[in-house]
Amino acid sequence: MEPVVLDTQPFVSENKSEPLTTASTLGEPSTCSPTTVLGKDKETAWSTHPFPEARTQSKNIVRLPKNRTPFTQHVLSPTDEFLLYINNKMIDDVVEFTINRESRRAKQTAWRDTDAIEMKAFIGCLVHIGAMRQSGSSLEFIFSAIEGNALVKASFSLKRFSSLLNYLRFDKST
């Protein structure tokens, strides 16, 4: 460890008449050494050298797993982790089935077709709602201005979220 070189210029306070107070300028016996400076209250001793660094306790060291499986070696982002469970083919099928169900059931409503990006966001919001233990909550509570879920509100409007939830389909309807 290198020695710390401090500025050797005396402390200049806003009040020019106030000198730097050290143990030697007080004229009274003190336990301060030449490496300490007394504070403004004339009781607090401040060290001019930092304390030596101690070794980090082993319980405070985060260790990442060394043995990664072949499936997780390419994971670099949360999106990659999401795609380990639900792949793009599954998303495309859900989008296709949801669009087909809606196009047959409610041609009179103002339905806007969904896409894979919106479906990934929708499923991610559903996972987030479950992780936040809000799965039993009403949509009005989840989208409320005061206590609502900020992530879901930022991703969807209540009307769009509700329509996707109503028309979500995971298989071909017969």
Do residues 163 and 97 make contact, with C-beta atoms less than 8 angstroms apart?
A: no
Res 98: pLDDT: 85
- The ranges of the chain with pLDDT < 70 are 1-33, 65, 67, 102-109, 173-174
pLDDT digits (tens, 9 = 90+) for 20-39: 444 444 445 445 567 888 88
Task: Give the 3-state DSSP-derived string for the chain, with helices as H, strands as E and coil as C.
Answer: CCCCCCCCCCCCCCCCCCCCCCHHHHCCCCCCCCCEEECCCCCCEEECCCCCCCCCCHHHCCCCCCCCCCCCCCCCCHHHHHHHHCCHHHHHHHHHHHHHHHHHHCCCCCCCCCCHHHHHHHHHHHHHHHHCCCCCCCHHHHCCCCCCCHHHHHHCCHHHHHHHHHHCCCCCCC
Query: Residue 146: what residue type?
Result: I
Res 105: pLDDT: 63
Q: Which pTM value belongs to this model?
A: 0.56
